[in-house]
């Protein structure tokens, strides 16, 4: 009688293990399906965004082509302003940097 109960217990454990494996497999399959769906949706959104950006780019390119002279002049002015700003900053801090470099190159440490 006791052998029969032990056999039934093992059989129940095997059955429960098979059911658990089926649940795990179903969960993995559902996860993979969701991942595939998410990837497809992301690719679709990416393609739509890319197409929208391309249209916007082409529109701006068409608008800007008639004004290239003014754009060049504006860019030159902005560049000159940035260069002037960098020169001003450089001249303002260069003395301090030279002093710092002299301090570290002439100081001997043990």
pLDDT at 65: 63
Q: What is the pTM of this model?
A: 0.44
Share of the chain above pLDDT 70, in %: 88
Contact 24, 31 (CB under 8 A): no
Q: Quick check: 35 pLDDT over 80?
A: yes
Q: Return mean pLDDT, the chain.
A: 87
Q: What is the pLDDT of residues 62-87, one digit of tens each?
A: 776 655 667 788 899 999 999 999 99
DSSP 66: T
CA 68 – CA 76 distance, rounded (Å): 12
Q: Which two tokens stand for residue 81?
A: 């302003």
pLDDT at 95: 86
């Amino acid at each position: 009688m006791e052998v029969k109960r032990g056999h039934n217990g093992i059989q129940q454990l095997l059955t429960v293990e098979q059911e658990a494996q089926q649940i795990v497999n179903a969960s993995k399959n559902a996860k993979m399906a969701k991942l595939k769906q998410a990837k497809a949706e992301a690719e679709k959104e990416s393609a739509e965004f890319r197409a929208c950006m391309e249209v916007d780019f082409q529109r701006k390119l068409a608008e800007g082509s008639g004004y290239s002279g003014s754009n060049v002049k504006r860019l030159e002015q902005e560049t000159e302003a940035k260069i002037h700003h960098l020169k001003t900053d450089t001249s303002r801090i260069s003395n301090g940097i030279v002093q710092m470099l002299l301090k570290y190159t002439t100081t001997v440490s043990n």
